[in-house]
Amino acid sequence: MRVAFVGKGGAGKSSLAGTFARVLAAAGEQVLVLDSDPMPGLALSLGVPSVDTGLPDDAVEEYQEGGRRRYRLRSGLTGQGAVEQYAVAGPDGVRFLQLGKARGPRWDNSRPHWAFQRVLDDLPGDDWSIVGDLPGGTRQPFMTWGRYARTYLVVVEPTPASLLSGRRLARLAASRGTPQVLAVANKMRQPDDPDRVAAGTGLDVLGAVPFDPAVAEADRQGRALLDAEPAAPAVAAVRSLVEALRSREAPS
């Protein structure tokens, strides 16, 4: 499965993506987790040491095209090879790659970013599942950084602002003919909250995750929810999301 979490900042993308990836990996899948958010957070909810480094500068080499400077993976390095060499190994066997912080305005500081982009263009094949966390926002993160996704999960809270963001993302998706786009209703407090999410976004709702203080507590501890509170209601809800998506995604 190739899934990317999108939505407004604070909706719960990183919390859900981290748990989702761990659940898949614990079920025996080979899972590559991608954090495309320059504001990192996924490492913590996944339970890998919170390193702030992206790919090394020498993962890419420079070349000229039409008089312009471009970057490609260095000779002999494939996307799969970059994952094997550089992705951080995490619990349950997940592998983790992140964009890494922007180090400054100089062009040569962006080599890790170029490397990340080139890996997105050459991801390992379908024997890997890919779970991505996209930056909050609309067009660019959604369409460009998430170009590997076969399913976008739009994480939506039952608040007017979040519903509005969800609706915008749903419209963008429809206008681009993107693959499957579904909503995940997060931080639900009332039984009719998922219906509000469906009505407000116009999206099918894959599933609902309750408001669960265990999520905030795991965050406070800087631990993965699955490690801090494996029996939390939110974990059970994410397991259901995984099952629901499995039964929806066309076999690849």
Ligand X SMILES: Nc1ncnc2c1ncn2[C@@H]1O[C@H](COP(=O)(O)OP(=O)(O)O)[C@@H](O)[C@H]1O
Interface contacts to ligand X, rule CB under 6 A: 7, 9-15, 41, 136, 155, 186-187, 209, 211-212, 215-216, 219, 234
Residues 6+ apart with CB under 8 A from 10: 136, 157
What is the rounded distance in angstroms from the CA atom of residue 144 to the CA atom of residue 198? 25
Contact between 3 and 149 under an 8 Å Cβ cutoff? The reply is yes
Contact between 46 and 94 under an 8 Å Cβ cutoff? The reply is yes
Number of residues that bind Mg ion (CB under 5 A): 3
Nearer to ligand X, 87 or 185 (CB): 185
What is the rounded distance in angstroms from the CA atom of residue 32 to the CA atom of residue 102? 22
What is the rounded distance in angstroms from the CA atom of residue 165 to the CA atom of residue 137? 8
Nearer to ligand X, 209 or 224 (CB): 209
- Which residues share a beta bridge with 148? none
C-beta of 37: minimal distance to Mg ion in Å?
5
Give the DSSP H/E element, type plus range, for residue 107: none
By CB under 5 A, is residue 135 in contact with Mg ion?
no
What is the rounded distance in angstroms from the CA atom of residue 224 to the CA atom of residue 39? 17
Window of 9-17, 94-102, 138-146, 190-198 that interacts with Mg ion by CB under 5 A: 9-17
Query: Of ligand X, Mg ion, none, which one sits near residue 15, judging by CB under 5 to 8 A according to partner kind?
Result: ligand X
Nearer to Mg ion, 41 or 166 (CB): 41
C-beta of 128: minimal distance to ligand X in Å?
23
Nearer to Mg ion, 44 or 73 (CB): 44
Q: What is the CA radius of gyration of the chain?
A: 18
Contact between 6 and 203 under an 8 Å Cβ cutoff? The reply is no
Query: Of ligand X, Mg ion, none, which one sits near residue 81, judging by CB under 5 to 8 A according to partner kind?
Result: none
Strand segments, DSSP code E, in the chain are: 2-6, 30-35, 60-65, 68-73, 88-89, 95-98, 128-133, 151-156, 180-188, 205-210
C-beta of 222: minimal distance to ligand X in Å?
11
Nearer to ligand X, 19 or 110 (CB): 19
By CB under 5 A, is residue 40 in contact with Mg ion?
no
By CB under 5 A, is residue 41 in contact with Mg ion?
yes
For Mg ion, the binding residue among 14, 110, 117, 165 (CB under 5 A) is 14
By CB under 5 A, is residue 124 in contact with Mg ion?
no
C-beta of 83: minimal distance to Mg ion in Å?
22
Chain positions 207 to 246 lying near Mg ion, rule: CB under 5 A, are none
C-beta of 17: minimal distance to ligand X in Å?
8
Contact between 82 and 52 under an 8 Å Cβ cutoff? The reply is no
Instruction: List contacts with Mg ion (CB under 5 A).
Output: 13-14, 41
